[in-house]
Amino acid sequence: MHQKPDADAMGSALALFHFLVQFGHTVTIISPTNWADWLNWLPGATNVIDYERNREKATNALKDIEWLFCLDFNTLERTKNLAPIFAGLSCTKILIDHHQQPDTASFDYGISDTKKSSTCEMIYDLIIASSYQEKINKEVSECIYAGVIADTGSFRFSSTHASVHRLVADLKDRGLEHIAVHEALYDNFLENRLRFIGNVLLNRLEVYYEYNTAIITIPKSDLLKYYIKTGDTEGLVNYPLSIKGIKLAALVIDRDEERKWSFRSKSGFDCNTFARKYFEGGGHFNAAGGRDAASLNETVKKFIIAMKENEALLS
């Protein structure tokens, strides 16, 4: 899965895990980095190896590996420090992903389908196609559902095709308790995160109405003041899109190692192209991310220039 895995990355890996172990396979899940605490609710998440914290265990697991499933990322670089290790493995590498422009040369087999709502939906499709659908137990269901709601914005993004609703209907028929998943993912934060969001919306949001764009800039001091942890900033970038007329929402966070960008759009603005062109990133049409080694002030200046260059697409 990609670094700083989200509910789709973690959910798809765990869903595949809970499917494969029923056949007696030895399955290990490795994340390149840590993840949000609230993802630990997913069945099996606490057994996932964080490569940055436990390199030895991860390296041992990779020694006798036969198959490497690469889930929810399109290029090996998205696995951060694991990228050169994965590149050097001689095992069979299988990609299952829905991001744009996959680096297919890095994988032996796989499915890349940018029309799919989530990698979790693709794991569901794989299980159905395998004709072992009776193996969709409580664990598999919950993991798939978590990724689907996360990546579809709870069934509102354009990728929410009829197939997504059919998938959910099937999981419900199999006994899925969806309320528990929603509560675990969305009603499981500490008070400080809510106060942090209040401060962000009041003091860190800049709206450029002439470009239908809004930008949120988060300095390191805010992260420290509000004890912000991995995952606490997820979803923040969506808030400005609720302002009438806004087509592009951008969020930049001053992380230790880099300035991390998130982009979300409406009305036909292509975030993937924008993130690739200006911020070494990528993703999907309406949701992408990127990075910059420059300072927070400098990268925001770059963004404003980029926004102006894109005036015709934003107006």
C-beta pairs of 251-258 under 8 Å, 24+ apart in sequence: 251/215, 251/216, 251/218, 252/215, 252/216, 252/217, 252/218, 252/292, 252/296, 252/299, 252/300, 252/303, 253/218, 253/223, 254/218, 254/219, 254/220, 254/223, 254/296, 256/220, 258/291, 258/292, 258/293
Whole-number Å distance between alpha carbons of 240 and 250:
8
Choose one: 36-44, 86-94, 133-141, 285-293; the region binding ligand 5GP (CB under 6 A): 285-293
Whole-number Å distance between alpha carbons of 88 and 65:
12
Among 71, 217, 282, 307, binds ligand 5GP (CB under 6 A): 282
- CA–chain centroid gap for 75, Å, is 14
Position 151 contacts Mn ion (CB under 5 A): yes
| For ligand 5GP, the closer CB: 157 or 208 | 157
Identify the three-state secondary structure at position 233: coil
| For Mn ion, the closer CB: 151 or 222 | 151
- CA–chain centroid gap for 161, Å, is 19
Site size with ligand 5GP, rule: CB under 6 A: 13
Per-residue x/- marks for ligand 5GP, 54-93, CB under 6 A? ------------------------x---------------
Which residues in 208-227 contact ligand 5GP (CB under 6 A)? none
Which residues in 244-273 contact ligand 5GP (CB under 6 A)? 262
Q: In the 8-state DSSP scheme, what is residue 263? A: E
Position 72 contacts Mn ion (CB under 5 A): yes
Closest by CA to 212, choosing from 262, 251, 247, is: 247
Position 121 contacts Mn ion (CB under 5 A): no
Per-residue x/- marks for ligand 5GP, 182-211, CB under 6 A? ------------------------------
- Minimal distance, residue 18 CB to ligand 5GP, in Å: 23
Which residues in 90-109 contact ligand 5GP (CB under 6 A)? 99
Interface residues toward ligand 5GP, by CB under 6 A? 2, 78, 99, 262, 281-284, 287-291
